[in-house]
Structure 1
Amino acid sequence: MSEAPRPWPQADLEAVPQCPVCGSAERSLLYKGLTDRVFCVADGAWDMYRCAQCASGYLDPRPTPESIGRAYAGYYTHDAEDHPIVRRKGRIRSLLHDLINGYQNHRYGLQRSPALPVGRWLLPLLPSLRTAADAECRHLPPLPAGGGRLLDVGCGNGGFLLLARQAGWEVEGLDFDAGAVQAARLRGLEVYHGGIEVLDGRSACYDVITLCHVIEHVHDPLAMMRTLNGLLKDGGSLWLETPNIDSLCSNEFKENWRGLEPPRHLSIFSRTGLEKMSDAASFDITQYFWHGVSASKIYISSQTIKSNKNRAPKFNPLTGLNAILFDIIEMVLANNREYITVRIKKAA
């Protein structure tokens, strides 16, 4: 039997009587006593409620903004290494890696190598890999005439900023993690340290803003969305990706789902919740995307959590088959995909 976690200090907790996503006070208890079983660095046992109005989940109580940093010790944004969709190891993986590079070079104007130009035609025949390749590039729109400015909020080590800069964008990043900011700056990137308030005083200065697995970490997501709206130029777009509380893996693994990650994930969105919040922040969701090769990875991670081991269990062919099956099913069930991945534009 595992030891009970040390409690999060009472003085560093705050109550959340209303849904941070839509403001409703109607709710039901979804999970009780969740603990950090992903990075295993955060104290506390956490209760998650599900909003009766927008169906999003949220922690109550939760760490205060001043104390939440303690939950990020050893967090992955400290890592300066980038992780490709497929590692170039072995003949088949090397082939897929080079096909992906060829596709991205053609589709997004990158100069990745080694690359197989034929990837522009062959990768679309592998839908899960093609959509993963598009998601890695965050479905970048065509570069505006005269160039465009891009801000990545929660930029981590700056891997995506390097990609966007290679595609021709003028890039800036923002992250509250000092270690991540240092790693990004060492790569020659312009990155600010702190929260969104660091950009106070700016307005209508970016063509594109991206948030990749950031909004679930934010104490007041609606306020952030409104701030981002003000930072976008007219006609600008926001690309956002976040775990989906209604995903296949969430329904399968429940309290063992990798996407919960308490207490770093303060809110877990439903599509309805994200739509309500976007509307309240004067945004229009213009397109949903599928992030391929996501359900299978989260399936295996969730299975590891369920097994109560610190490393992946010995490979089981049935587990691998189920993981692949989840990837196939979510291709069809748009509402139950692992991530909610959207492009959002300022309302006219």
Structure 2
Amino acid sequence: MSETTRPWPQADLEAVPCCPVCGNVERSLLYKGLTDRVFCIADGAWDLYRCGQCACGYLDPRPTPESIGRAYASYYTHDIEDHPIVRRKGYIRSLLHDLVNGYQNRRYGLQRSPALSIGRWLLPLLPSLRTAADAECRHLPPLPAGGGRILDVGCGNGGFLMLAQQAGWQVEGLDFDAGAVQAARSRGLEVHHGGIEVLDERSGCYDVITLCHVIEHVHDPVATLRRLRTLLKPGGVLWLDTPNLSSLGALRFGPYWRGLETPRHLVLFSPVSMKTALTRAGFHSLRQYWRGLSLFNVFAPSEAIARGESANGSSHQGRPPLRDVLAEVCEMMQPARREFLTLSARK
């Protein structure tokens, strides 16, 4: 630990003697002494281990559930602004923006404008952009006859809930961050403050449950997934998105990879460990998706961290270097190496 890094209080640490996903005790040290290089608000230096069986990564020791909130003092979910896939700036970007809207309006029942209806035919010719547009809508299934209910766990400012509501879904959110909950409620959304325990009295009431960059933050991911399964109706869909510890970015940047986000990311999944967690929780019919354009938001911050600079706001300003474009092509063809594990599963 460097002289400038204050330790996390010993009384607020807990040991993790075995893998939180599969229970295996065999492991190897992946990185030692990681610090909060993303938001620079959390104390401590942390060791990340890789499970010898399912290849997930996990912190040991790690903050206790009672103390972890200190690592979220200025987290991004407080921001009420939603960020489009393509900003409407300049002729080309404005054209792509309107094509995306046209595609999403047709595919998911949105009413976004301005929109070009030919996007429904043209966007599939642009695989990266189409898959990014699908991921923004979290690959929503068709709206059930008579309506459907969605729960977004870790809903943040409610951006996705607003989108799903526009598509005709009855929406509900959940977040432990009081600032995020306040931001979402200010938009007229029904959002609960706390963890999934606030829904203990419910079961079998949601058609879809989504978790976007949530599962890596929880102390017991398998138990969380099991509880979410009980909240789904029979045949209901769970959709989740999480950083991939086996991704091209993780391999390229190592301890500087943006996806580590120590100590908020307690468990980092590989394709094998993600499948293990979902099947142990009782889910079936797993399906993986490619997000498209995802690594462009990860490589630039990772490069900044490697240079000792702030990761916040780092980007290539819409002009990624050629090697990042080539990495995007490689990611498309190698599902196990994609920057994020984006999957759906059924109850």
TM tier, shorter chain? over 0.9
Q: CA 1:5/1:139 → structure 2, altered by over 3 Å: closer, same or farther?
A: same
Q: Which residue of 2 aligns with 1:329?
A: 330
Gap regions ≥5 residues in structure 2: none
Partners of 1:7 and 1:44 within 8 A in 2: yes
Partners of 2:300 and 2:315 within 8 A in 1: no
Q: CA deviation at 1:55?
A: 0.2
Residue pairs, 1:26-45, within 5 angstroms: 26-45=26-45
Counterpart CA distance in 2 for 1:120 and 1:276 is 36
TM-score, L = length of structure 1 = 0.96
Measured on the aligned residues, the alpha-carbon RMSD in Å equals: 1.6
Gap regions ≥5 residues in structure 1: none
Partners of 2:296 and 2:320 within 8 A in 1: no
Q: CA deviation at 1:31?
A: 0.2
SS at match of 1:58: strand
Q: Which residue of 2 aligns with 1:341?
A: 342
SS at match of 1:263: coil
Residue pairs, 1:138-153, within 5 angstroms: 138-153=138-153
Counterpart CA distance in 1 for 2:119 and 2:85 is 15
Counterpart CA distance in 2 for 1:325 and 1:238 is 31
Residue pairs, 1:69-218, within 5 angstroms: 69-218=69-218
TM-score, L = length of structure 2 = 0.97
Q: CA deviation at 1:286?
A: 2.6
Q: CA deviation at 1:317?
A: 11
The C-alpha deviation readout for 1:228-266, integer Å capped at 9, x for no partner, is 010000010100110000000000000000000000000
Q: CA 1:315/1:105 → structure 2, altered by over 3 Å: closer, same or farther?
A: closer
Counterpart CA distance in 1 for 2:104 and 2:186 is 25
The C-alpha deviation readout for 1:305-329, integer Å capped at 9, x for no partner, is 1111126779699962222121111
Q: CA 1:3/1:80 → structure 2, altered by over 3 Å: closer, same or farther?
A: farther
Counterpart CA distance in 1 for 2:314 and 2:248 is 21
1:257 aligns with 2:251: no
Counterpart CA distance in 2 for 1:319 and 1:79 is 26
What is the percent sequence identity of the aligned residues?
Answer: 69
Code of the residue aligned with 1:125 in structure 2: it is: L
Q: CA deviation at 1:4?
A: 3.1
1:277 aligns with 2:282: no
Partners of 1:143 and 1:169 within 8 A in 2: yes
Residue pairs, 1:291-330, within 5 angstroms: 291-310=291-310, 320-330=321-331
Code of the residue aligned with 2:17 in structure 1: it is: P
1:50 aligns with 2:67: no
Code of the residue aligned with 1:230 in structure 2: it is: T
Return 134-143 or 324-333, whichever deviates more: 324-333
Partners of 2:247 and 2:340 within 8 A in 1: yes
SS at match of 1:259: helix
